[in-house]
Amino acid sequence: MRSSYSGFPSIAIIEDLEHVFGFEISDEEAENTGTVEEVLALVSRHAPATGKKCVARITFFRVRETLANVFNYNRESLKLDTKIWDSLPPETWPEKRDLIRKHFARSTLQITSTGSGCALSFLAFLLPILSSIIAYNFRLVPIIILPVGFIVGVLATFAVWGLLPPSFAQLPKDVTMRELVAQTLLEEIEAGSPYSDKDLILAVKAIIALHLDHRLEAIELHHHLTDDLDMTD
């Protein structure tokens, strides 16, 4: 178990860097790393760029092609700063779930239900059951009400769940093409694709942005992880 990671505000950043780039960060290295540039230097020492071709550029065109096919976007309108959900009404999201999971599979892009949605669904399940138990205990209804209450609870749960709009775990509604490209790039590097120095910079920034709840576009090399970027508290 890691004993210290004082240079990083989150051990998850260390774990993701190690997982994506395939090396281990020592406690001493973690303690002596404070800025984005120092993180980049640390990764470069252990996992330097392995290619000259910019994978991020190729990934951009692949992501753009996916969005054009899945959402019928105009390919030419998709730039790095394009906010991809702007022209997608929420009621169209459910039908795209599996396709989004297929093409953008990292944890930041998984579609899940909100915590409040889970709570509402649980209440919808629980209330009919509790009501039937209470009514039976006071001899207000026959025993048949107990299985009926359970069935009503199950049906109510599905009804509430179906009415709730989907939400995106750790994926802001104004997510940009740049962020999708960066997350897809991480998958490529994890899979062993050669990457350039530019890819390395984008990938490191993407990991930091993910775990510090910060926008990728706003992260600069001189930023200190704790003092400038940590928004998780």
User: 């105009």: which residue's tokens?
Assistant: 74
pLDDT of residue 203: 93
Query: What's the whole-model pTM score?
Result: 0.64
Query: How much is the pLDDT for 204?
Result: 94
Which segments of the chain have a pLDDT < 50? 1-4, 107-115, 164-171, 232-233
Q: Cα–Cα distance between 131 and 222 in angstroms, integer?
A: 59
pLDDT score at 99: 57
Residue 72 has a pLDDT of: 74
CA triple 74-76-79, angle to 5 deg? 105
Give dist(CA 100, CA 134) in Å, integer: 45
Quote the pLDDT of residue 48: 93
pLDDT of 119: 61
Helix pair 197-211, 36-46: axis angle to 10 deg: 130
Residue 7 confidence (pLDDT): 65
Other CB atoms closer than 10 Å to residue 101's CB: what's the count? 12
Looking at residue 103, its pLDDT comes to 55
